[in-house]
Every structure is written in C-alpha cells, then in structure tokens.
Amino acid sequence: MTRYYLGVDGGGTNCRIRLADENLVTLGEGRGGPSNLQIQNGEPAYRSILDGAKAAFAAAGLPETEYANAYGCFCMAGGRSVVDRDAFQRRPWPFAAVRTYDDIDAAHAGALGGADGAVIIAGTGSAALAIVGGKRHQCGGWGFHIGDQMSGAILGRELVRRAVEATDGLVSGSPLTVAVIDKLGGSIDAVMEWSFPKPVTPVEFKDADGAELPVTVGRAPKAYGDFTRMIFEYFDKGDPIARELMELEMSYVDNYVRWFKARGATRMAATGGLGERLFPLLVERYGSFIVKPLGDNLSGAVILAKQNFGA
C-alpha cells in the first residue's frame, strides 16, 4: 500500500501544505488561511489544513480517498502550548494518523535535515530549539508581550521607542530616528496615535466579577517587525542608532548561543526573515558554530512526518 506524508507549516497569516511520497519527493502543494492554534480554539487552523490538503492532493492528481494513506505532521504557530497541540491532534482528521508540533520543530528539522543541532527562529517572533543526542531542549517563543527577545517585532519596537526618546531630547538621535518619526506622521503625537489604532469594533473583557471592561489595543507585532528593513538599510549606511540596535539584537542571540553550547550543541542555524539577514553577522561573531539552513519549515514538516510514521 502506498504511503504518503503530509507536512504542514502553519503560520499566523497562512499555512502551507506539502504532500510527498515515501522518498519525500513532493507530489503536490496547497495553501490555507490563518493557522495559529490559539485563535478560536484552532478552528480556523483546522479548516485551513483541510482546504490546503484538498488542494495538495488535487495538485498531485490523487483522489481524496487517498487521505486514508496519508500521515501528517502539523507544525503550528501557537503550538508552544502542549494543551493546544494535544487538542488539535485529537480533532477528527481524515488522515491515517497525525502529529502536532510547535513551528520551531519544523524550522529545526528543515534547517538541519532532521539531524542534531540548534536552530533559532528570528522573524516577527522568535524561538529556539536544540536537539542533542536525541534530547530536546527548547526555550523562548513566549510571544511579543513577555518574550520574543530576538524577534523583529521587539527590535522594531525598540527603534520606535528610541526615536520617540530622541525626539523628546532624552537620548541622542540619528538620521534613522528622524526617518522613523517622519514615516509615522512627523511628530510624537502622530506616533502615539499610530501605536494605538482605534478598533472598528470595541474590544472588551470581563473582570473577576463579570463586569465588562475596555481593553487598550496596541499595534500588532508585525507592525513593529516591518521596521527591521529600515534598520538594516541604515545599518549598512553606518547609522549609529542602527548599529546600537543591531548590537542589542546580537546580545540577545548571545544568550541563546551560550544556552545551546551549555547543552552540548555544536552547530546552529538561523531561520526567519531576520535570522537569514543576520547570517553574515552571526558567522563573524560565532564562526563555524553557524551553519546555513538546508531547508525551510515546510521541508522540515515533511521530514518529521516520515520520522514519526515511516514504515
């Protein structure tokens, strides 16, 4: 009986699905919508995977009856929570079997070909995972509000804060901080308005007594993460604030490198848009400890599917 492997790279904005044969040769791919497990109890992610799987099987020229011969590995945004992963895995899937992982696991398997080593994700968010001698070591990935130190969102937020402080005269500025203020409206008042967009629909929550209270809604992490392009642009020009921010970013990476090495990791790959852009700086700082990723999250998800369910 033919066995298929279904890999899912589930992101907060969309998910990608790849169907592969027993030799991990790609047969077809599909896409779905938002796939964070912590949004609406994973219901949008569930629909997204089913839609994307349907497209992948159609692209492969396979009927949906072949779902019963497909083994899936779902690597999902919001998968840091064990409870959410387990609940998602127990949903009524039409496949032979499934396993749900955090998205860092797909990044690790893809970057290192399923072998031992360490990986960081540095994109809008950030996370870290090492596998050494079969033992899993994970840290970070706790989200914008309480973690994600290596992320583009945190780096961009620090830039906006520095630009505001420089405009107030509290700290030194640079052409980069001036450009940020101009981009966001030309004044601190405009920046403040930008940072707290008015929701179209009022957002409320209830206190311990059941009373409804308003929630102050700020910009999403991606809005801050978008500033990383500007930071690199000015970094390449020698801007002093861009260089300070890059050193701050590298100091966060230092913490993870020390953590990895203390657990026996001998190599590390960096993934995510920010991680890929940092590659030359990482090599300069850490030498041969840094390796180029072999593949992406989607290839990692398929590798994990075969590792879990290979005949």
DSSP secondary structure, 157-217, as one string: HHHHHHHHHHHHTSS---HHHHHHHHHTTSSHHHHHHHHSPPPSS--EEE-TTS-EEE---
Q: What's the confidence (pLDDT) of residue 269?
A: 97
Cα–Cα dist 52/58, whole Å: 10
Q: What's the confidence (pLDDT) of residue 218?
A: 80
Q: Write down the residue that tokens 């079969």 correspond to.
A: 134
Among 49, 47, 272, 239, smallest CA distance to 151 is for 272
Q: What's the confidence (pLDDT) of residue 9?
A: 93
Among 103, 133, 115, smallest CA distance to 269 is for 115
Cα–Cα dist 44/38, whole Å: 10
pLDDT digits (tens), the chain, 311 positions: 789 999 999 987 789 999 999 999 999 999 998 888 888 889 999 999 999 999 999 999 999 999 999 999 999 988 888 899 999 999 999 999 999 999 899 999 999 999 999 999 998 889 999 999 999 999 988 888 888 899 999 999 999 999 999 999 999 999 999 999 999 999 999 999 999 887 655 555 565 666 665 565 688 888 999 999 999 999 999 999 999 999 999 999 999 999 999 999 999 999 988 999 999 999 999 999 999 999 999 999 999 999 999 87
Give the contacts of 263 (CB within 8 A, at least 6 positions apart).
Answer: 130, 132, 137
**Strand pairing of 97-102 and 70-76?**
parallel
Q: What's the confidence (pLDDT) of residue 81?
A: 85
Cα–Cα dist 49/7, whole Å: 10
Q: What's the confidence (pLDDT) of residue 197?
A: 81
Q: What's the confidence (pLDDT) of residue 129?
A: 96
Q: By the 8 A CB rule, do 153 and 222 touch?
A: yes
Among 154, 124, 157, smallest CA distance to 249 is for 154
Q: What's the confidence (pLDDT) of residue 186?
A: 97
Q: What's the confidence (pLDDT) of residue 24?
A: 95
Give the contacts of 251 (CB within 8 A, at least 6 positions apart).
Answer: none
**Strand pairing of 117-122 and 268-271?**
parallel
Q: What's the confidence (pLDDT) of residue 205?
A: 58
Q: Half-sphere exposure of 181 toward its Cβ, with a 13 Å CA cutoff?
A: 17
Cα–Cα dist 261/242, whole Å: 28
Cα–Cα dist 66/71, whole Å: 11
